[in-house]
Structure 1
Amino acid sequence: MLLTILTILLPFGALLAGWQLDGKSSDNPDGASLAPGLALDLQGGTQVILKAVTSDGSEVTPEAMEEAIGVIRQRVDANGVTEAEIAAQGSQQIVVEIPGEVDDETVALISKAAQMKFRPVLTIGNPTPTVQPSADPSASGDADDEAAGDEAAEGESAEDGSTEGEEAPGGFTEEEIAEQEAAVEAATDASDLSQITPSVQAAFDELDCTDPQNLQGGGGDRPDLPLVTCDQTGIAKYVLGPVEVDGTDLSSASSGLVPNSNGTVSNVWGVTLDLNSDGARDFRETTERLFPLESPRNQFAIVLDALVVSAPSINDPITNGQAVISGSFTQSSAATLANQLSFGSLPLTFQVDGQNQISATLGSEQLQRGLIAGLIGLALVVVYSLFQYRTLGLLTVASLVVAAAMTYVTIALLSWGIGYRLSLPGVAGLIVAIGFTADSFIVYFERIRDELRDGRSLRLAVQRGWVRARRTIYAAKAVNLLSAVILYFMTVGGVRGFAFTLGLTTIIDVMVVIWFTHPVMELIAKVPFFRDGHKASGLSPDRLSSPPRYRGAGQFTGRTSAGTEDEVVPEPERELVSAQSARPAPRVTEDGRRMTIAERRAAERKAAAGSADAAQPAQNEEKH
């Protein structure tokens, strides 16, 4: 029971502690709040209209628009905003709708240009901050960093996913920038480790690529200086040299099966790059310099939105302007990287065409109606539970209250911890969960009633009923959870909000049944009011004894204990039914085991035969 109390109280304590120590305010909009965060349709927000334009006057393709939406979505999500809506409008406009108020910094972030650059790799490290920075600023990191670099060089010719990044944490002072400019000026080439100045090394040591804030993108890096940044997936961090090939020199990128050295097509997926004349010249000079270097300095990083998309190693100098990136690709991941490269090769920028406030009037009205529908459904569940289970139905009501409280606190904690926002479809998922939650309690109570009908005490009925009900509950909830997971990953938009709350309430439902309903039922079994089967308890023997018995072929025997109408019984069996009613056969064996159907029928026949033998002498006396 102590575990039950802790399970219920700990989330409340965590939320209250967060509210006191990190409360939400105008200075701390991401702090904890006692109320869950609301999505765009319930709270309203800000609409930002962006126009995609190219500096060279080239056409913005639909593929480039899709990739631009992906870049902006990653920036918004990594900035701690959820339930944002991002969609194309026409051939050049992108509409971004964000819940709540949006500051100028967020608008600037989502409207920054995202262009591709090719930089040489100077060093690679683990994604977490380094505890003891290296004393040698030109060192490539500790042993763990070298291991991470080897892994990135061997296992990642390229990685799939969205492409975003960030400058070194906190930026640099003017003195540090001057120091870096001097180091680059004195370096023999872009791969010279002397470019890792103390300020660059410190930024590299402090960078935490497991923090989503460092994966939000937005560019801002200077092409003529080293860059400290993360891999797009957050699995590694890099120090990169100055830009050597610009993305605008990339003519095209396509995915497909990579040909072998003899010209035949292999079964390995890869990405083929075609560069223009300027890009081919720069690429040849760079790859000829990188090829003989040690790992990881023989890698050429592809950077989009200031985040490393891929850092393939150079196996041979590329002199013809056609490069092939191969590795652990699938057809899908190769196509994704090709799209990112094609998008990054465009000189694409975003202009803010408009910024408007969105009202939540319609969403608030729908929310009110949804809450009314939920309250009606909850009231019907309560009425049914009290009618069907009498006082025992109060345990159903208490379990629903506990489940609702845990759900509320969990959503509030998620709003604080990961920026989750409750949308109108999410509210619909909570309403639907009322019936699913009550179903678990009904299954449990009916199993207990079955055990009582078999002649067991309430204490034993609770124990055996729980074992039988638990399997059914787990199976049903597994189906619900599987449906929610499939919906979440196979859909977009509001349906994902519905799936999330449905899956969350399913997990909480199982927790409540295990850690609240069942332990309380064990305590109830010791209370005389329920143990002795009071008529108002819902466990009265008058309501549970002698139920209709199924005899097969759609036929039942006798009359129910509650005095309902006789069941339809074939004429030849009425005499047998009468005998059985007078002397009901047991439904459990002498050792307490539940009878099988064959054993029960044999017992019924024996009971009927005994009743007939007892009635025969009385009939003979009447004849005399």
Structure 2
Amino acid sequence: MRPGRQLAVLAGLFVLLYLIVFLGGSGSWHNRLHPRLGLDLVGGLQMTLEAQGKAPSSTELEQARQIIEDRVNGYGVAEAEVVTESNKNIVISIPGNDSTNLNDVGQPAQMYFRKVLNVTQDYADALAAATASPSASTSAKPSASTSAKPSTSASAKPSTAASASPKASASTGGQGGGAAASASASPAPSASAAPSTSASPEPVLDPEDAAAQAKVKAKVGDAAWNAAMALTAPVDLSTDPSGAAPFANFAKLTPNEVAILPAKMQFNVPQIGCTALDKRPIGSINKADQQVVACDSGAKEMLDVAKVKGTDIGSAQAVAPNSQQPEWTVSLKFKGDGQDKWTNLTKESVNKTGATCETAALGGTKQNCRVAVVLDNQVISAPEILDVLSDNSSITGNFTSDTATDLANKLNYGALPITFKADQAVHVTATLGQAQLKAGLLAAGIGMLLVAVYAFFYYRLLGTVIFLSLILSGLLTFGMLVVLGRTMGFTLTLAGIAGFIVSLGVAADSFVIYFERLKDEIREGKTPRSAVPRAWVRARRTIITANTVSIMAAVVLFLFSAGAVKGFAFALGLATLIDLIVVFLFRHPIMAMFARTNAFLSPRVSGLGRVLHQQNEDDDEAAPGETRRYRAKEA
């Protein structure tokens, strides 16, 4: 063989790996050599999601757990633990201190595309202010424009009013020749550092619960209820400031109670405003076959039944800004008959067929109907549909990288079958994990030192091969940890470190197999130089078999386990594969090179002392002719 070739290939792999490590990272050299560490090593965040309403079934809870785990993994968070607790809680643990997206993983994320039928002004805040300070105003007439029609255009974005919660403009467009005007959208999911730990919310009321509806009716009174039921259009206080008086008791309702009111009542009664509508429980407007009310740009919108659902979306992807689109967008691809449904909805909006779009709800470019993209209770965008869209579409607006990725993940990984509330979020320190890591590394170091001492004592020159192989395996493993942490989010935990330590035993076994096979060959009468390739051929199959068994065990553990066990299995399999590479590209070639040196033939240096002495004694006892024939045969 030509050992230089194998060693050159190994050197090339080593150089390539560390070029990726150094050139593919950012920051200081220390940061570029820093692998991703898990929750037990660097600390992190732990959040508990509590199911609302009646306790879900075990099937529903497990389905929700899997969707949440997929969403967490969609952010590139590896080694995250998502587990069920009791019969209604899900606990999420993620390493590090970046909780930007932790609040959002428990959102239901049900998306519907609904045609905007009508728009009316939100008078609730002005009415509340007038009631609180009667002397401040003699009427409840708001100073806002009498027209509730939002400003839309094919290219210009509406101005964003100053408020406590930012708004993002969004639009929907396609490649089928159509375009959509931009319209303001509700804010993207919150990016607060940790969820609120406020007291448990009031129970979610069921709109179909007759007893709950009776209580709400009793709270507002029969007169106000009957007056609201008789309304056929929103009360316009700009022309009749006293028109709100009969409905004053509706201002007493909580968001939960507002959620069970009929949609027309929510839309027509002036005391019901966006503050209450936006705080309705998640899932309040998720019935696709019913008209619903939602808010957009501070105005109430009556929305038609959902003609296209989130389940009609095949895939969603966050798209970074580019030369054609200077903002983050979420690209949508429909699946099956979803594309036909979307085309028919845009055709209905352009041709003004189906449910009637009132003048106040029309867009301002071609006076076509608008379509609202509704995620849970929030209107993401409500653009005018300028032309029939027969291809994929996208949602654009003032998205950031995080909010666009969050929306895409929710659409890709489905809607949760259960409504959750973020019960608590706590920071987890890594003090215990770091102490265990130090103790484990100390123990591993002592063990490696003892192995090295024993190897040099028992194998001498061959011990150098063991030592160099372990060092090289360690460097290759470390480089792979850094690269995998950047590319696929692999996170190193205590369990992973245990997997790497266990793999050292597999590597040590392969040394023993090879060296003892080498001794057997010499005992059988082979010279040391000829024994090296013969021992390799016989030991190779055993080494491959042993490593294959370890890899198979790692694969089974990885596929059928979760959490820390999965990390252990991945680390064990990775380290075993690297050991095989080192065996073929370093251990055998370096042994072939050593076999050509005089030191390898020396009993004192090679580590083959006893078997070489035994061979020399056998040669001395043999007849001269036999010895010559043996050496001729070996030659």
Q: Write the mapping of 1:96-135 to structure 2, written as runs, cut at 5 A.
A: 96-104=92-100, 106-115=101-110
State the Cα distance separating 1:13 from its structure 2 match: 4.3
Q: Write the mapping of 1:505-584 to structure 2, written as runs, cut at 5 A.
A: 505-531=575-601, 533-540=602-609, 543=612, 545=614
Instruction: State the partner residue of 1:82.
Output: 78
Q: Secondary structure of 2:481's partner?
A: helix
Residue 174 of structure 2 contacts residue 393 of structure 2 at CA under 8 Å; is this kept in 1? Answer: no
Cα distance change on mapping 1:590 and 1:238 into 2, 3 Å: farther
State the Cα distance separating 1:136 from its structure 2 match: 4.8
Cα distance change on mapping 1:114 and 1:454 into 2, 3 Å: same
2:39 is the alignment partner of 1:40? yes
Equivalent AA in structure 2 for residue 35 of structure 1: H
Residue 165 of structure 1 contacts residue 306 of structure 1 at CA under 8 Å; is this kept in 2? Answer: no
Cα distance change on mapping 1:437 and 1:379 into 2, 3 Å: same
Show structure 2 runs of 5+ residues with no match.
115-172, 180-310, 331-342, 355-374, 396-406
Instruction: State the partner residue of 1:185.
Output: 349
Residue 226 of structure 1 contacts residue 241 of structure 1 at CA under 8 Å; is this kept in 2? Answer: no
State the Cα distance separating 1:424 from its structure 2 match: 0.7
2:472 is the alignment partner of 1:402? yes
Equivalent AA in structure 2 for residue 23 of structure 1: S
Q: Secondary structure of 1:367's partner?
A: helix
2:554 is the alignment partner of 1:457? no
State the Cα distance separating 1:383 from its structure 2 match: 2.2
Task: Find the aligned partners of 2:550 and 2:624 in 1 and give their Cα distance.
Answer: 41
Cα distance change on mapping 1:471 and 1:354 into 2, 3 Å: same
Q: Secondary structure of 1:97's partner?
A: strand
Equivalent AA in structure 2 for residue 382 of structure 1: A
Instruction: State the partner residue of 1:205.
Output: none
State the Cα distance separating 1:582 from its structure 2 match: 8.4
2:446 is the alignment partner of 1:376? yes
1:60 to 56, 62, 65: 56
Q: Secondary structure of 2:36's partner?
A: coil
Cα distance change on mapping 1:534 and 1:32 into 2, 3 Å: same
Residue 317 of structure 2 contacts residue 408 of structure 2 at CA under 8 Å; is this kept in 1? Answer: no
Residue 39 of structure 2 contacts residue 93 of structure 2 at CA under 8 Å; is this kept in 1? Answer: yes
State the Cα distance separating 1:59 from its structure 2 match: 4.8
Equivalent AA in structure 2 for residue 112 of structure 1: Q
Residue 551 of structure 2 contacts residue 573 of structure 2 at CA under 8 Å; is this kept in 1? Answer: yes
Equivalent AA in structure 1 for residue 459 of structure 2: Y
Instruction: State the partner residue of 1:444.
Output: 514
Task: Find the aligned partners of 2:320 and 2:42 in 1 and give their Cα distance.
Answer: 32
2:206 is the alignment partner of 1:137? no
State the Cα distance separating 1:590 from its structure 2 match: 6.8
Task: Find the aligned partners of 1:509 and 1:93 in 2 and give their Cα distance.
Answer: 42
State the Cα distance separating 1:466 from its structure 2 match: 1.1
Show structure 1 runs of 5+ residues with no match.
26-30, 120-132, 140-160, 191-216, 228-236, 243-302, 310-339, 548-559, 562-579, 595-624
2:37 is the alignment partner of 1:7? no
Residue 454 of structure 1 contacts residue 588 of structure 1 at CA under 8 Å; is this kept in 2? Answer: no
Task: Find the aligned partners of 1:37 and 1:497 in 2 and give their Cα distance.
Answer: 13
Task: Find the aligned partners of 1:218 and 1:462 in 2 and give their Cα distance.
Answer: 70
Task: Find the aligned partners of 2:489 and 2:426 in 1 and give their Cα distance.
Answer: 22
State the Cα distance separating 1:44 from its structure 2 match: 0.6
Q: Secondary structure of 2:424's partner?
A: strand
State the Cα distance separating 1:476 from its structure 2 match: 1.1
Instruction: State the partner residue of 1:169.
Output: 319
State the Cα distance separating 1:457 from its structure 2 match: 2.7
Instruction: State the partner residue of 1:51.
Output: 50
State the Cα distance separating 1:477 from its structure 2 match: 1.0
Q: Write the mapping of 1:186-335 to structure 2, written as runs, cut at 5 A.
A: 186-187=350-351, 239=392, 307=411
Equivalent AA in structure 1 for residue 105 of structure 2: I
Task: Find the aligned partners of 2:351 and 2:55 in 1 and give their Cα distance.
Answer: 39
Residue 47 of structure 2 contacts residue 424 of structure 2 at CA under 8 Å; is this kept in 1? Answer: yes
Cα distance change on mapping 1:111 and 1:498 into 2, 3 Å: same
Task: Find the aligned partners of 2:518 and 2:543 in 1 and give their Cα distance.
Answer: 14
Task: Find the aligned partners of 1:387 and 1:356 in 2 and give their Cα distance.
Answer: 52
Instruction: State the partner residue of 2:460.
Output: 390
Equivalent AA in structure 1 for residue 319 of structure 2: P
State the Cα distance separating 1:453 from its structure 2 match: 2.3
Q: Considering Cα pairs closer than 8 Å and 6+ residues apart, tell me whether 1 or 2 has the greater RCO.
A: 2
Cα distance change on mapping 1:585 and 1:44 into 2, 3 Å: farther
Q: Secondary structure of 1:451's partner?
A: helix
Q: How many percent identity over aligned positions?
A: 33
Cα distance change on mapping 1:69 and 1:583 into 2, 3 Å: same
State the Cα distance separating 1:433 from its structure 2 match: 1.5
Cα distance change on mapping 1:182 and 1:168 into 2, 3 Å: farther
Task: Find the aligned partners of 2:318 and 2:465 in 1 and give their Cα distance.
Answer: 57
Q: Secondary structure of 1:438's partner?
A: helix
State the Cα distance separating 1:487 from its structure 2 match: 1.5
State the Cα distance separating 1:48 from its structure 2 match: 2.0
Measured against aligned partners, the alpha-carbon deviations of 1:55-90 in whole angstroms (never above 9, x if no partner) come to: xx5553333222221111111101100011112233
Cα distance change on mapping 1:462 and 1:222 into 2, 3 Å: same
Task: Provide the TM-score with structure 2 as the length reference.
Answer: 0.52
Task: Find the aligned partners of 2:382 and 2:624 in 1 and give their Cα distance.
Answer: 95
State the Cα distance separating 1:407 from its structure 2 match: 1.0
Task: Find the aligned partners of 1:165 and 1:135 in 2 and give their Cα distance.
Answer: 16
State the Cα distance separating 1:439 from its structure 2 match: 1.5
Question: How much is the aligned-residue C-alpha RMSD, in angstroms?
Answer: 4.7
Task: Find the aligned partners of 1:221 and 1:362 in 2 and give their Cα distance.
Answer: 45
Cα distance change on mapping 1:43 and 1:544 into 2, 3 Å: farther
Q: Secondary structure of 2:607's partner?
A: coil
Task: Provide the TM-score with structure 1 as the length reference.
Answer: 0.53
Equivalent AA in structure 2 for residue 463 of structure 1: P
Count of aligned residue pairs for this structure pair: 388
Cα distance change on mapping 1:226 and 1:355 into 2, 3 Å: farther
Equivalent AA in structure 1 for residue 58 of structure 2: P
Task: Find the aligned partners of 2:51 and 2:384 in 1 and give their Cα distance.
Answer: 28
Task: Find the aligned partners of 1:167 and 1:469 in 2 and give their Cα distance.
Answer: 51
Q: Secondary structure of 1:536's partner?
A: helix
Cα distance change on mapping 1:41 and 1:587 into 2, 3 Å: farther
Task: Find the aligned partners of 2:83 and 2:536 in 1 and give their Cα distance.
Answer: 50
Residue 52 of structure 1 contacts residue 93 of structure 1 at CA under 8 Å; is this kept in 2? Answer: yes
Residue 47 of structure 1 contacts residue 97 of structure 1 at CA under 8 Å; is this kept in 2? Answer: yes
